[in-house]
Amino acid sequence: MASAPQTYDELLTELQARARSLTPAQRLLADRIMADPEGVAFMTVSELASAVGVNEATVVRFAAGLGLDGYPGLTRLCRGRLREQAQLLRRYDNLEQLGTDGGDPLERAVALDRANIARTFARVDADSWHAAVKALAEAPRVHVMGLRKCHAPAYLLGYLLRMLREDVETVTTGAGTLTDDLRRVREGDCFVAVSIHRYAAETVRAASWARTRGAHCIALTDNPSSPLAASADQVFYVDAAGPSVLRSLTAFTSLVQALAAGVARERGHEVRATLLQEEELLKEFGTYDSRER
């Protein structure tokens, strides 16, 4: 029998591994634990049961079934997560006050995006990062998909990768071409799925399908309860807090650019040849205004 999770990250791994075998009630609990460890850390059994709509006995059995020392063992791991991130969170403990009580909305937007970028990169696991960069650099083909609000970072990643290597496609649903794009996904390819809550159903289905085809899957999403996490070999969680009802894509942009930079470094001298050829084509076709400024 596998040992009980000793850290919150190990708990996440265990919950994701069991995702397909969980009952509906257990799935509700797992989703809440993955999405809101801060809240669960200080909830009583009855509060968590009420929050997700199950009975208290189900909560206790669920914690015990994970090999934990009952419900206290579960909250202990969630509190450990809080301690790990406390230093980072303290740096931004004034964000909620920015932009209120006469504060400057521009100042609040800047502060939130700084926090989004810092929190996003603070959660990046080095081994996962190197594995993702290697897959993006070496896979026979790379397919990138992001719809609606996530189309912009997905398009940017596809654009940057096409400057660095051949065989990169941005998957879209325009004119009913999704199935045509997915038909090109082969075993050993790399498939990047980009989506945050509310998750685009076609992106979720496409990522799952690509995984069944034997593609190496990378997810850029917002939290461990995202349906993309179950299909991915590497998952990168992006903070997207915004100053209004609109969520910010700034951290997405930073993460995408960092991935592209990693690929450029991984491919080394091959990138130089590709960029030189690109520059020649741009000049030949007069892509940019050549007038001196």
Pick from 102-106, 167-171, 179-183 the range whose average pLDDT is largest.
167-171
Tokens of 23: 């009952």
* Collapsed DSSP state (helix, strand, coil) of residue 229: helix
Query: Does 124-282 carry CATH code 3.30.1330.60?
Result: no
Contacts of 202 (CB under 8 A, 6+ apart): 147, 173, 178
Q: ∠ CA(133), CA(216), CA(231), 5° rounding?
A: 115
Dihedral sign, CA of 15, 131, 82, 39?
Answer: negative
Answer yes or no: is pLDDT of 152 > 60: yes
pLDDT per residue as tens digits for the range 79-102: 887 766 654 444 444 444 444 444
Give the C-alpha distances (Å, rounded to integers) separating 21 from 34, 78, 119, 182: 16, 23, 31, 27
pLDDT of residue 161: 93
What gap in Å lies between CA 52 and CA 46, rounded to an integer?
Answer: 10
Rounded Cα distance, 282 and 276, in Å: 10
CB 188 within 8 A of CB 215: yes
| One-letter amino acid for residue 261 of the chain | A
Whole-angstrom Cα distance, residue 254 to residue 35? 23
Q: What is the pLDDT of residues 232-262, one digit of tens each?
A: 999 999 988 776 667 889 999 999 999 999 9
Report the distance separating Cα 170 and Cα 50, nearest Å: 43
Q: pLDDT digit string (tens) for 57-78?
A: 999 999 999 999 999 999 999 8
Q: What confidence category does residue 128 fall into, taking pLDDT thresholds of 50, 70 and 90?
A: very high
Domain positions in the chain: 8-87, 124-282
pLDDT value of position 292? 55
Return the closest-CA partner of residue 154 out of 130, 176, 181.
Answer: 181
Q: Is the dihedral of CA 99, 104, 110, 115 positive or negative?
A: negative
Q: How confident is the model at residue 2 (pLDDT cuts 50, 70, 90)?
A: low
Q: What is the pLDDT of residues 178-232, one digit of tens each?
A: 777 888 899 999 999 999 887 888 999 999 999 999 999 999 998 887 889 888 9
61 and 22 Cβ atoms separated by less than 8 Å: no
Whether the predicted model's global pTM rises above the 0.85 cut: no
Report which DSSP code applies to 194.
E
Q: How far is the C-alpha of 95 from the C-alpha of 4, rounded, in Å? A: 36
Statement: residue 123 has pLDDT above 60:
yes
Element (H, E) at 88: helix 70-90
CB atoms within 10 A of CB 272: 11
pLDDT the model gives residue 215: 95
Strand partners, 67: none
pLDDT in tens, 171-188: 987 766 777 788 889 999
Contact yes or no for 79/38 (Cβ under 8 A): no
For 218, other C-beta atoms within 10 Å of its C-beta total: 28
Pick from 101, 100, 117: which is nearest to 244 by CA? 100
Q: Which residue has the tokens 């084509």?
A: 281
Span 8-87: which CATH code? 1.10.10.10
